[in-house]
Structure 1
């Protein structure tokens, strides 16, 4: 009788544990993530996948993230995918919607820096201090923001170091800041995504293209871009987001939201930057080993870019005020001071 009772008790304990496990499984939340880079890209392997793992670990498996096998829309539509809930989490480039994100233009101007981790941390702190309540960002929970450590000028056939070298040359570019910059320098901007750069360069449609160093390698442009002009503080930059649908975020339990808060925000933004800080020097080393030409922009070219930047900032201050930023200059000064401090640590 005692043995039977013991077996009955053990069976009841096992059944209770099974029911508890089943209840936890049924209450688990699976979030969908839409991404537009291939699964071999470092953003996928070194940033997005670790993010999914951190969320699952932080919530003890109660919240998991599934990266969809194919993007649900083109890259410029990924903010809307998150805002409207078509996908729970997305990432993308603020530059793809320049009119919506006028407030972010300041971080894409020349001289924004070349330390991507410091940039990304500084941009997160700036977002939290000045932009979190801006109407442009309504409808999402911002998980991270990031930058890529300074884009540079690349040419297929010659070394470009002076304003005269840039004049009348056709450069592929990807956004309005780059367009204004090239136009002011007397170059001919040609808008196209980076994925089109190879065929445009090979066919002679453009003479050069704007990229980070890692982008030259990751888009396999080594054979068509052999001359690289380096601006010590960056020729231009780009701003990125990782965002979650606001309603989906609100629907998570308080415990899970608190757990996820520990792996997003400034630390996730820093992780974004660290990946680019690893990729850019590695790409430079590969290009140097292949015999590519590297040259620093001359003081004359840097001065020309600085003058253009000053005009850009003045114009942006007025545009940002119209976009709901109370004191754009103070926000820019905050970013610059924060970046300088972080980069020096």
Structure 2
């Protein structure tokens, strides 16, 4: 009889323990507006989430949504509304909202995705708490894409003056301003509409990294690509938790997130964009696309033409009460420390 009682008590204890164990697993939804096979999802967000899940022994799990709840510009507001717990997006999709955070978007700031991503995060880590641009969210990472090229369906851009009068598809506010300053007419369109726009003559070309040209199926209409040494521009991407979702995590879970975020996300971005561009350029080369590099003289001329953007950013920083010169100097110093073309083999 005592044996039966013991078995019954043991079974009752086991059943009572099931809900408690289930409560020990926290699942966070990640809002996503890109296809699951895009490199941002498969090469940055997914491995980041998996590393945290492993670090926490499965007590913190992530579900990446497969259907967007809204267009790219709506992602930060959706995050604030707690439509999902974690999100990512492009700062430039919300013109004027993340001005200080977008310091790396300025012309010729980011020579490669390693330097741009690292400098973007380190600068935000040093100054970002003062900005107040992400209130209601807890930013865990910033990153930048790889160097964009001027990809032409009609005409060739051998020199800077060849851009004059051309209609160029752009993705964000800073990019549009850059194209305007260089004499082109920017048109903002979703990347999914770019090929159709160029096929119909609505746009002559598009600013995009090589990876994105191939991913969005734009390769067939591209005839020539002009590289701009030094990095004409980049876009700053954010990765963040809703503040309430972040606060709901245990200390151990937050520590695990922080361990794999920040520079961890920046380095994942460096790998993802570098590998993506290698693949994209191979596909473009197979399609017979001509690659052109802008001359040093034209690069210098472009830098001169685009100086007003930096001047205006500094004025905006001052108006907001920030030392823009100090922020710029720090960002540039971090770029130099993390740029991918640094020589590390010293021969004496």
Superposition TM-score, scaled by structure 2 size: 0.91
**Matching of residue 238 in structure 1 with residue 215 in structure 2:** no
CA deviations on 1:21-69 (whole Å, 9 max, x unpaired) are: 5412124222111100112222222222223322222222222111223
Task: Name stretches of at least 5 consecutive residues in structure 1 with no aligned partner.
Answer: none
Aligned to 2:270: 273
Within the candidate set 21, 25, 31, 1:24 is matched to: 21
Aligned equivalent of 2:329, options 330, 333, 341: 333
Helix, strand or coil: the match of 1:252?
coil
- What is the aligned partner in structure 1 of residue 67 from structure 2? 70
Q: Given that residues 103 and 323 in structure 1 are in contact (C-alpha distance below 8 angstroms), is that contact kept between their aligned partners in structure 2?
A: no
Is the Cα–Cα contact under 8 Å of residues 88 and 248 in structure 1 kept in the other structure? yes
Q: Say whether 1:37 aligns with 2:42.
A: no
Range moving further from structure 2, 149-158 or 121-130: 149-158
The answer to which of 328-337 and 297-306 deviates more is 297-306
Runs of 4+ in 1 over 3 A off after TM superposition: 7-22
Match of 1:309 in 2: 306
Look up the match of 1:287.
284
Report the Cα offset of residue 249 of structure 1: 0.6
1:254 to 251, 254, 259: 251
Distance of 1:202 and 1:45 partners within structure 2 = 30
Q: What RMSD, in angstroms, separates the aligned Cα atoms of the two structures?
A: 2.1
Comparing 199-208 with 102-111, which one deviates more in the overlay? 102-111
User: What is the rounded CA distance, in whole Å, between the counterparts of 2:50 and 2:186 in structure 1?
Assistant: 41
What is the DSSP-based 3-state SS (H/G/I as helix, E as strand, rest coil) of the residue aligned with 1:168?
coil
Q: What is the distance in 2 between the residues matched to 1:283 and 1:259? A: 34
Partner Cα separation in structure 1 for residue 257 and residue 12 of structure 2? 31
Partner of 1:128 in structure 2?
A: 125
Residue of 104, 108, 112 corresponding to 2:105: 108
- Is 1:197 the counterpart of 2:206? The answer is no
Q: How much has 1:83 moved relative to structure 2?
A: 2.0
Tell me the distance in 1 between the aligned counterparts of 2:334 and 2:42: 29
Number of the residue aligned with 2:213 = 216
Residue number in structure 1 paired with 2:84 = 87
C-alpha contact (below 8 Å) 2:32/2:88 kept by paired residues: yes
Equivalent position of 2:43 in the other structure:
46
- 1:21/1:339 CA distance change after superposition, 3 Å: farther
Task: Kindly tell me the number of residue pairs found equivalent between the two proteins.
Answer: 341
- Which stretch of structure 1 is more off in the superposition, 234-243 or 150-159? 150-159
Is the 8 Å Cα contact of residues 229 and 299 (structure 2) preserved in structure 1?
no
* Maintained 8 Å contact 1:163/1:300: no
Indicate how the Cα distance of structure 1 residues 342 and 16 shifts in structure 2: closer, same or farther if over 3 A, else same. Answer: farther
Instruction: State whether residues 171 and 188 of structure 1, in contact with CA within 8 Å, keep that contact through their aligned partners in structure 2.
Output: yes
Q: Within the alignment, does 1:174 sit opposite 2:167 as a pair?
A: no
